[in-house]
Structure 1
Amino acid sequence: MKNILLACSSGMSTSLLVSKMEEVAKEKGVEVKIWAVGQDKAMTEMENADILLIGPQMRFMKKKFSKVADKVGIPLEVIDPVAYGRVDGKAVLEKALETMEEN
């Protein structure tokens, strides 16, 4: 089971993306837990995740989140703005799984 955490400013804009990612994972038979939180909860939630994906609007916070992600030992990626804007669950899920395999 892979645990994928998404973070955005409030956790609201990633909720639809989580649903789309879950649909794709189910179709592919991939066991994942995907959830979204606001930036204020991301630091503590990282301990339960295998990867942190942050919304493109939070790109400026990558350095701050990277410090905690490195301590916890998980990769961190900024979600591709085009995939994010299109709510492309397939592209985001595939990138997350690919990144986890590399690390």
Structure 2
Amino acid sequence: MKHIMLVCNAGMSTSMLVTKMQKAAEETGVEATIWAVPVSEADTEVAQKEIDVLLLGPQVKFLLNDYKAKFEPAIKVDAINMMDYGVMNGAKVLEAALKMMEG
């Protein structure tokens, strides 16, 4: 089971992306738990849950270096591609997260 957490400002558009990522995971046979939290809850989630990949929404990309310093190497951290986020391409974002877990 893969555990992918998205971090965003408030969570509205990111929750739509989570739904599309979950659908893509089902369609490709990937067993994954995917969820989104606002920045204010990210540290608590990391402390309480198993997370393989943490993806930042474009609106909080400025936190990337802080999050990498805080959570890597235990958790892979990156920002979601702005284009994929903009068009809500859940399959592409899922693919990027899975690649992060490989290497």
> Normalized against structure 1, the TM-score is what?
0.92
Distance 2:22 2:54 in 1: 16
Query: Is the deviation greater in 44-53 or in 73-82?
Result: 44-53
Question: Quick one: distance in 1 between partners of 2:25 and 2:32?
Answer: 7
Question: Which residue among 52, 60, 63 is the counterpart of 1:61?
Answer: 63
Counterpart of 1:92 in structure 2: which amino acid? V
Deviation of the 1:46 alpha carbon: 2.3
Residues in 2 aligned to 1:45 and 1:101: alpha-carbon distance in whole angstroms: 23
Question: 1:13-92 residue pairs with structure 2 within 5 A?
Answer: 13-47=13-47, 48=49, 49-70=51-72, 73-92=74-93
Displacement over 3 Å in runs of 4+? none
CA RMSD, Structure 1 to Structure 2 (Å): 1.2
Stretches of structure 2 that go unaligned for 5 or more consecutive residues are: none
CA distance in 2, matches of 1:82, 1:63: 20
> How far 1:50 moved relative to its partner?
0.7
Amino acid at match of 1:45: E
Question: 5+ residue gaps in structure 1?
Answer: none
Instruction: Note the C-alpha offset of 1:82.
Output: 0.1
Q: Number of matched residues?
A: 101
Q: CA offset at residue 60 of structure 1?
A: 0.8
| Residue number in structure 1 paired with 2:102 | 101
TM (norm. structure 2) is 0.92
Pairwise CA distance, 1:16: 0.3
